[in-house]
Amino acid sequence: MSLRVYAIAYLIFLYAPIVLLPIFAFNDATIIAFPLSGVTTEWFGALVGNRSLQSALVNSLIIAGCTAVFATLLGICAARAGAMADYPGKRGITGFVMLPLVLPEIIVAVSLLVILRQVLGLDLGNWTIILAHVLICTPFSIAILNGAFGNLDPSMEEAALDLGCSRWEAFRLVTLPLVMPGIISSLLISFTISLDEFIIAFFLTGANPTLPVYIWGLLRFPAQLPIVMALGTILVGLSIILLTIAEIFRRRGITRSGGQDTGGFL
């Protein structure tokens, strides 16, 4: 009984702020407080004509798209190597690659800022954010693809090799289609993480801010808070949709490979 009460209280504490987002996004007052004064879609309409917001959104989409592709490519290579027979230093290398999962983002951001600006003397821009986001998204991609490659039957690729395929042809024609749901899931998860990430983008952004950094800038103006609520509602909805699609593809990949589901995102 006590565990059930704790679980319910935990879920309320975790999701109550998210539930309040759409409520205040449709409130027609600029003051974020109860009771609500009325219902309006004015704040969503204000998003359409905001050029700065649109520029930040396009910037974030470009960064998230590039991050998803590069992180997934690195994840495929790492997961493929991890699914092969043991080799010297395999566990140590795997642990080192997964290290960004446990490192505080503020430490990663400051370290990269010092290296890029003070050591290498490079200018900050989209590519610096992409580099950093690939660093933090690759472990998530590897975690997803490890399950996809780990559930494959090695005899299927071996059969393709026996039938005359080269190792690359066997990987492209046999292995890759079987792990494709995991690849799509990795792309979606990496895209979502990059799109929502703030701390690293805040330190490494150049002249063109990402969407989370732009939202943070709006918080300095109280009159803009309803617009932030409207934008946050859209982002939460988009994130839920992407995560749901990623989970569907993850489970479909497990079903196709005949493996067991050990838990996922949803």
For the chain, domain boundaries: 51-257
Separation between Cα atoms, residue 50 and residue 230, nearest integer Å: 13
Residue with tokens 């983008």: 201
* pLDDT above 70 (res 266): no
pLDDT level of residue 36 (50, 70, 90 thresholds): low
CA angle 57, 59, 60 (to 5 degrees): 65
Query: Look-up: residue for tokens 């290398």?
Result: 93
- pTM here is 0.76
Consecutive H or E run containing 201 = helix 199-204
- Is the pLDDT assigned to residue 121 strictly greater than 80? no
More confident residue, 87 or 13: 13
Indicate the DSSP class of residue 124: P
Q: What pLDDT sits at residue 215?
A: 80
pLDDT at 265 over 60: no
pLDDT, greater one: 223 or 257: 223
CATH topology of domain 51-257: MetI-like fold (1.10.3720)
The alpha carbon dihedral of 80, 83, 86, 88 has a sign of: positive
Q: Which of 4-8, 155-159, 197-201 has the highest mean pLDDT?
A: 197-201
Q: How confident is the model at residue 155 (pLDDT cuts 50, 70, 90)?
A: low
Return the pLDDT at 107.
86
Strand ranges, E, within 161-235: none
Q: What percent of the chain has pLDDT over 70?
A: 81
Which of the four pLDDT bands, split at 50, 70 and 90, describes residue 68?
very high
Residue 143 has pLDDT above 90, yes or no: no
